[in-house]
Structure 1
């Protein structure tokens, strides 16, 4: 058996089918402050990602390298795409969720709940029915580093659902700091990261899982615990494995919650996504850099290989 490279930490033999012993972990972009929100645009053959404190959204492609996609992003954090291929992002500065239209205009999807400003939307996913689900911790208002210091107006750090008709509702309200979120491939489950240990050591670094019943969620408890650092952004592959960020890299969990292995990275990982020309590249945002590694898995999101539903 070939000895795995030093960036692969295999904990379960099932992980061997998801990675390759000849894969390389390549740093493809560097020199940033805090990278986040990677999303693959296969129809444009490029990766978009945020550098939150510098208030930029960057673009990277194999052909042209790194360039600026949006020079003033408003402290944009998490990004995703809707089923029409439009970019949907979370802005700490304006404390809102916005959609980028084909002509470049920005449409504010949500910025208040019950007449009060949101905390600082962090990460976002769009389900097949067009609903927008997002987390609303306070990271963007606790200092001026990732937003503007302010007192929260919301009574809790909620997870929200914006219906296709435009109705905003709370689906979970008992997180200390809800962070990354992603659906299982069939959207029957929603995984949500608890990152409250960033400021309170007593908060467990866990990923919780919820059953999805239309616009409602059923709490099914803790799915997995991150053993190094805390969970932030995450993605599912087409087989239902969950790949989560952590302080030492990317942790891969089987659908039953077993830790299969890790992709070790020398910087704290904030988020990840699948992409590349064949869908088999994982792009990792990690503190000051962006990394890429080949994996024998493909993301569950429909645009991973450039197609949309």
Structure 2
């Protein structure tokens, strides 16, 4: 009897020990990356606040490669899908975690048969309030809405803006909607066959425009030589514009008045001195909920505070064209030369 009781007590003690082992916190394991990492990629912090936005352990993953020139990343939260342009291929591609990268829409920016330049396709992509896909078309020199459903893309387009007055645009590049429904966009010459020397160029400048909800096109500024990336501050009282001119590689910030016009433009950051030493120019940009700017430029993605302090860089080693957040801003997608990249953020 005593032997049996002793055996039962021993088994009970061992059982308790096993239970404690079962509920003990597991050791932290390094995050496994299912995608290859960008060998040239690195993080450069110039201010400690950089690490509150981008985790120290974050890595730059390659989601797709082998493209010619990627641009215009757009996250579709309802589909868990990323869309992006390959401008020379005149196509939009999709990427999902399950299926990887696939052709989504072709043609995307030029509907003719022969194109003399190198950038016929779509550039910037965005959604309107109704969830329609809106494209900046280089080859057709206009901004359009794709007809049909996101799930069934077809190269059938309805123009949103084609001209300023009697003149055709150069090649709409990037765009952003204001909360009231007005559409703002940049119009550099990159889609024109001979750029500034193109005989068919009808505007004597490279402008930044607004299209009102009623379809009226207004010129906001023509002072930038190569206007490119465009974004609002969270309260829409500021607008940020990049200028992708190697001789004047800057970002500017403007006040947005009650009529939606741009006032009091000033240099936000000047990267001209970096151009000879790093690949890329000021290009696409996005703003997070705290007003921090993720701005592509020489060497990768610059991270600025709302006041214009450079907090650090996501270094890609590539000419980096644009970026986009996922829905909760916990991930940044980056288009860089032939790549589509991803890096995890701290999120909101």
Please give the range of the TM-score, normalised by the shorter of the 2 chains: 0.7 to 0.9
The TM-score normalised by the length of structure 2 is 0.78
**Per-residue CA distance 1:23-49 (angstroms, 9 max, x = gap):** 111000000000000010011110000
Is the deviation greater in 222-231 or in 106-115? 222-231
CA distance in 1, matches of 2:217, 2:62: 39
Give the structure 1 partner of residue 66 of structure 2. 31
Confirm or deny that 1:86 pairs with 2:132: yes
Q: How many residues are aligned here?
A: 285
Alignment of 1:125-136 (within 5 A): 125-136=176-187
Is the deviation greater in 26-35 or in 206-215? 206-215
Is the deviation greater in 233-242 or in 278-287? 278-287
Q: 1:172 to 1:108 in 2, by over 3 A?
A: same
- Please state which structure has a larger fraction of its residues in helix: 2
Confirm or deny that 1:224 pairs with 2:269: yes
Confirm or deny that 1:165 pairs with 2:209: no
Tell me, what secondary structure is at the counterpart of 1:209? strand
Confirm or deny that 1:292 pairs with 2:327: no
CA contact under 8 A between 1:117 and 1:153: conserved in structure 2? yes
Note the C-alpha offset of 1:256: 0.7
Tell me, what secondary structure is at the counterpart of 2:49? helix
Confirm or deny that 1:176 pairs with 2:222: no
The TM-score normalised by the length of structure 1 is 0.88
Give the structure 2 partner of residue 239 of structure 1. 290
Give the number of the structure with larger relative contact order, counting CA–CA contacts within 8 Å between residues 6 or more apart. Answer: 1
Alignment of 1:114-263 (within 5 A): 114-143=165-194, 150-197=199-246, 201=247, 204-213=248-257, 214-226=259-271, 227=274, 228=278, 229-263=280-314
- Please state which structure has a larger fraction of its residues in strand: 1
Note the C-alpha offset of 1:79: 1.2
Larger radius of gyration: 2
Cα RMSD after superposing both structures: 1.8
CA contact under 8 A between 1:10 and 1:261: conserved in structure 2? yes
Note the C-alpha offset of 1:173: 1.1
Give the structure 2 partner of residue 301 of structure 1. none
Q: 1:6 to 1:176 in 2, by over 3 A?
A: closer
CA distance in 1, matches of 2:72, 2:338: 13
Choose from 151, 154, 157 the match for 1:106: 157
CA distance in 2, matches of 1:207, 1:231: 7
Note the C-alpha offset of 1:71: 1.8
Tell me, what secondary structure is at the counterpart of 1:121? coil
Note the C-alpha offset of 1:294: 0.2
Q: 1:6 to 1:88 in 2, by over 3 A?
A: closer
CA distance in 1, matches of 2:166, 2:298: 37
Gaps of 5+ in 1: 299-309
Is the deviation greater in 48-57 or in 261-270? 261-270
Give the structure 1 partner of residue 123 of structure 2. 77
